[in-house]
Structure 1
């Protein structure tokens, strides 16, 4: 039966009866201690006795305390307590309206607003975006609640009043967007300060410090996602939440600590995977993992072994994850054939007139066109299976346990997508088996270290040789060679196009990066038979 029981037959009760009938309820009955009428079937205290006849009920009482009290009584009695919204009201699909709340005629509830239970939003009231109305409040006739406001529980906003947001100054929050993000994730009223964090090329990252008994403590990492690179932030965050939540289960089965061994991403106060600021830029947040360290380059050989084992273990833990469910958030990210095509177009167009400054580097790529298709062709033939891959397996995307020195947690998960094991393996080699920084200007310092390669092979296969196929194992040396070539090609392409993708510190920065990668490719080509033999040694 599509019947509704209303506690309170006064003015608000009669209004809600009209709303209920207008949105499809067939019959409405009341409980009221004083009023009389054919549709009043008992006292308020009879709500428990009526549970056998009614499964749906609301409390329509003008007094905030009483409306909240009876709404919670109905919820405790296991009634379905719906929100009632007048057909003329405008409610954003991203707004959250909780049990027993009423949105009356021509009221407006804007984007990402959260309304708790037993709230009354009266006729003509406007609640702007990202506001939070706590339980039992009353937003009066024609009143306005500005964006990012919080109306406390049981508060009444009188008719026609305007509520403005009040915010405290947060040290380090030097933009409105950063401040909005802090409030969106619930830190605005409590965090001590924020400051830039990390050394990533792509996203804008901040450390969020919270007060504790020991003083201010780094507690969260807040990032603005670069939509020039990741133009599907919803897909990125769906991938991240899916994989990290799956990882937590896998880690528990292994007897590990999921709060330290995978990133724990935080939803906004509105329950969303990320916050979108007024300029449409997405922000996301995760818990900082204490007592961990991150290295920008290999300082001791053991670190490289640990990174290899960590990335291999990551691939193994996700072996049963439904790879087809992942969003390909950067299409063809490691499609070396298409990366070559993009370079070739940039080379031919030369829109920044930079080809003359890098002809040798361009010729280097052009001569290796045939190499670019080797792994892609095996994938297309089904020889190499798609797996859940990280796609940015640099040493600095691993947190190490500060006490034990062991690999602890894989970070920077933006590029999790379907991919080849060889790609993840190869990206680690091109970054970690180099004797110099990625942007070292003196190429005499840049060499491919075959012993570091050997150490990485051992660590990676210690974690994966029982899950990788024979063809995958044999593809690993090609992964090292082609990921290095691909990365250098990407740096060179970005240089030719005017440095629109990677962050740069000076005009030739991307060209310098490309040169280091090409030097490594040259040396890998000379050592290639030895690279293949090392892999065979560890899987036979």
Structure 2
């Protein structure tokens, strides 16, 4: 019976945490795209076990450092906040390393919680946005210089555009021809890069503790679908609010995901846009400057455009980063994001009215 749930490797991992009881339940969770995540039960307790993707996060110690210093700050200044910290090993470590360079960590499972894979209602968007806003607001007094960079240039639009331009100059000729119109569209939106450079110079845009990966599956909900807290802090770094808000816009606004190839299904839901602004602003109202409050639409453009650039860059580079499931997969992803961006521009007047009332 035991062997159906546990391997020797898993047994050795759990022993590092002093867990020697029989594993009575084990299942892989499919929501994560980077780390391998599983839910296990042993000794009547439930845990989340993650294998850290070392090719994406090549210095896991930096992740552990960031989570620890943030957790310490919240424990002192906001002790009632639900912060899901890694379980420490018997030796007090945040992660363990196996032979071959595999990194693992264990989290307690939050009883009564669940995650969502897509946004279906404005209330879900509101709840998630308020939690990401609360996370940043509660850490407003935290010294961001304490945070280490886990993915260099992660949301640096200027850097991403430079990668794109280099890919265009060295692209596979066949792929470059296929993507000719999309390349031109991306080049036509270079003004978004210029605006990002202006934001970096503008003191009205403050660098704060930013999550950087605000998809809905990174929020825990209770049985009443009320948000409990945010999770998956691997990409927490100093950043601008446009990163967190923009990523919510990119992943919540359309019911169609970035994998959708029927582009007619990509439709911006205005009620979701408003819910994101309302939820985030509820918690960040004392933090956002007037200039930031007028930049929610730009935040959407910023991240959607950056992701389109990244998919297209990878396509032109023969799929070095995003593993394709079929030929032209990354081209289709880039087209998908380009259509979403086009919708933001087409609905900009209406969308801007939601931010201007703040």
TM-score (normalizing by structure 1): 0.62
Residues 190-222 of structure 1, C-alpha deviations (whole Å, 9 max, x = no match): 43343312321111112122142xxxx6x1111
SS of residue matched to 2:294: helix
Instruction: Name the residue aligned to 1:228.
Output: 55
CA spacing shift, 1:248–1:357, aligned 2, 3 Å: farther
Distance 1:277 1:442 in 2: 43
Instruction: Name the residue aligned to 1:484.
Output: 304
Matched, 1:247 2:68: no
Distance 1:508 1:495 in 2: 7
Paired residues of 1:391 and 1:423 also in contact (CA < 8 A) = yes
Distance 2:161 2:268 in 1: 23
The partner residue of 1:406 within 226, 232, 242 is 226
TM-superposed CA distance for 1:379, in Å, is 1.6
Instruction: Name the residue aligned to 2:321.
Output: 501
Q: Specify the structure having the higher radius of gyration (Cα).
A: 1
Structure showing greater relative contact order (alpha-carbon pairs closer than 8 Å, 6 or more residues apart)? 2
Instruction: Name the residue aligned to 1:383.
Output: 204
CA RMSD of aligned residues (A): 2.2
CA spacing shift, 1:302–1:514, aligned 2, 3 Å: same
Residues 352-394 of structure 1, C-alpha deviations (whole Å, 9 max, x = no match): 9533333332222122223123123222343311000000111
Paired residues of 2:121 and 2:272 also in contact (CA < 8 A) = no
Residues 472-525 of structure 1, C-alpha deviations (whole Å, 9 max, x = no match): 212222111111111121222233334443454334333332222111110111
After the TM superposition, list the runs of 4 or more consecutive aligned residues in structure 1 that deviate by more than 6 angstroms.
none
Shifted more, 194-203 versus 319-328: the winner is 194-203
Distance 2:125 2:346 in 1: 22
CA spacing shift, 1:360–1:269, aligned 2, 3 Å: farther
Paired residues of 1:495 and 1:511 also in contact (CA < 8 A) = yes
Paired residues of 1:171 and 1:192 also in contact (CA < 8 A) = no
Distance 2:186 2:18 in 1: 49
Instruction: Name the residue aligned to 1:457.
Output: 277
SS of residue matched to 1:293: coil
Paired residues of 1:170 and 1:193 also in contact (CA < 8 A) = no
Instruction: Name the residue aligned to 2:289.
Output: 469
**1:290-439 matches, cutoff 5 A:** 290-350=111-171, 354-402=175-223, 404-439=224-259
The partner residue of 2:39 within 207, 222, 226 is 207
TM-superposed CA distance for 1:281, in Å, is 2.3
TM-superposed CA distance for 1:400, in Å, is 0.8
TM-superposed CA distance for 1:170, in Å, is 4.8
SS of residue matched to 2:150: coil
**1:266-281 matches, cutoff 5 A:** 266-281=87-102
Structure (1 or 2) with the greater helix fraction: 2
Paired residues of 2:6 and 2:23 also in contact (CA < 8 A) = no
TM-superposed CA distance for 1:228, in Å, is 1.4
Paired residues of 1:202 and 1:502 also in contact (CA < 8 A) = no
TM-superposed CA distance for 1:461, in Å, is 1.0
Unaligned regions of 5+ residues in structure 1, if any? 1-167
SS of residue matched to 2:245: helix
TM-superposed CA distance for 1:405, in Å, is 1.8
TM-score (normalizing by structure 2): 0.92
Distance 2:290 2:21 in 1: 55
SS of residue matched to 2:23: coil
